[in-house]
Amino acid sequence: GAGVSQSPSNKVTEKGKDVELRCDPISGHTALYWYRQSLGQGLEFLIYFQGNSAPDKSGLPSDRFSAERTGGSVSTLTIQRTQQEDSAVYLCASSQIILFGELFFGEGSRLTVL
Amino acid sequence: RKEVEQDPGPFNVPEGATVAFNCTYSNSASQSFFWYRQDCRKEPKLLMSVYSSGNEDGRFTAQLNRASQYISLLIRDSKLSDSATYLCVVRSGGADGLTFGKGTHLIIQP
């Protein structure tokens, strides 16, 4: 498809396990964003990529969170030693132009930490 | 004060009515403004950008008031399909400077 693709769509894991979430942006989009949305809450910015570099990682909640992007395309968000408070929907978005472009969101990865 | 504030609602509105809601922002240097729509358990999608002079797209009108630091969204002749959460989004500079409000929940009733 032509949209932003995220996987897995649903992930249930046990506390303490590591999880990896994947985002495949729209082809040609240079900017890629990760957000987190908890139940009934707004979108919390985590990190963005311009190409393969992440100029600002300050939105990541703790050092258990990391993200990378390779080849200016696919990005992975890794959460180590998951905690129950990590349970949320993790949304990836991409845009063609980093400062002014419309954000196109994927359907999200719903993470549940038991 | 939160950067972007919205009345969470829900706004319960009869079909065919006109409804409007506002969003206030705290950063006077904010540069760009948007309304996104999010359906239940779906991803946000851009509804419309908000221009300084105000803009209209069909039944939807967006306005910006820089002096009072708020943007508004007006929906005329509301449809059942307009039921959704409307997210106010403000860009305040910097490549990551998009701030999302928590959204206003709108329910159009038959």
CA distance B98 to chain A (A): 8
B45 contacts in A (CB within 8 Å)?
Answer: 105
CA distance A1 to A62: 33
Q: Say if A25 is an interface residue toward chain B (CB within 8 Å).
A: no
CA distance A15 to chain B (A): 24
Residue A108 in this model has a pLDDT that exceeds 80: yes
What value does the mean pLDDT take over residues B10-24?
96
Q: Say if B5 is an interface residue toward chain A (CB within 8 Å).
A: no
Lowest mean pLDDT among A22-36, A91-105, B67-81: A91-105
Q: What is the mean pLDDT of chain B?
A: 92
Per-residue pLDDT at A14: 97
Q: pLDDT band at B93, cuts 50/70/90?
A: low
Q: How many helices (H) and strands (E) does chain A have?
A: 0, 10
Residue A40 in this model has a pLDDT that exceeds 80: no
B51-89 residues labelled b (16+ CB within 10 A) or e (exposed): eeeeeeeeebbbbbeeeeebbbbbbeebeeebbbbbbbb
Lowest mean pLDDT among A12-21, A25-34, A49-58: A49-58
